[in-house]
């Protein structure tokens, strides 16, 4: 073989090897596993961003609620201060709202705020019972209303007459 044909053969083999290596790299970079790995990384990032967003929204509304409650309580304090000062500094009784709190809108608002503040402090010590998912038995009954054997026919005729009499009056 001459020198030209051997160098041509080496060039063709190098070209073929380059194409094979390029195809292998392309296949590795664009395979289903690589695509799935990339999508999983993106999904994890989106989940992380969403959790941060949820925490931010929760903190925002919690802080907003706290600030509105403080604003309401401060408004009541300012109103009471102004009303009491007006009474003590003037000869004329200028604030009938304080003496007649139930009859005025501001008085009822003040009462509601004070009650909710008192309930808030009381509720910290109370436990709340969750709602029942069944109808409890009435006193003297053997079975509850949601029993499989319960029916209108199982009620006494006197009970049915009382129910129809009370529903007819209403």
Tell me how long the chain is: 170
Look at residue 149 in the predicted model and tell me its pLDDT.
64
Helix, coil or strand: residue 47: helix
Look at residue 142 in the predicted model and tell me its pLDDT.
64
Greater pLDDT, 147 or 47: 47
pLDDT digits (tens, 9 = 90+) for 82-121: 888 877 887 655 545 454 545 566 667 777 777 777 776 6
Distances (CA, A) of 125 to 73, 116, 121: 22, 15, 8
Q: Return the axis-axis angle of helices 105-123 and 32-89, rounded to nearest 10°.
A: 130
């Amino acid at each position: 073989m001459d020198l030209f044909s051997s160098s041509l053969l080496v060039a063709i083999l190098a070209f073929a090897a380059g194409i094979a290596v390029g195809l292998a790299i392309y296949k590795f970079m664009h395979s289903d596993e690589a695509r799935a790995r990339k999508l999983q990384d993106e999904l994890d990032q989106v989940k992380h961003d969403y959790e941060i967003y949820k925490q931010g929204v929760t903190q925002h509304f919690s802080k907003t609620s706290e600030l509105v409650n403080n604003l309401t309580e401060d408004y009541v304090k300012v109103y009471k201060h102004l009303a009491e000062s007006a009474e003590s500094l003037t000869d004329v009784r200028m604030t009938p709202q304080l003496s007649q709190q139930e009859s005025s809108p501001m008085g009822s608002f003040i009462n509601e705020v004070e009650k909710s503040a008192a309930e808030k402090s009381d509720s910290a010590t109370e436990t709340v019972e969750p709602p029942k998912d069944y109808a409890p038995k009435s006193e003297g009954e053997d079975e509850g209303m949601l029993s499989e054997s319960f029916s209108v026919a199982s009620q006494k005729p006197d009970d049915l007459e009382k129910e129809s009499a009370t529903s007819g009056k209403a």
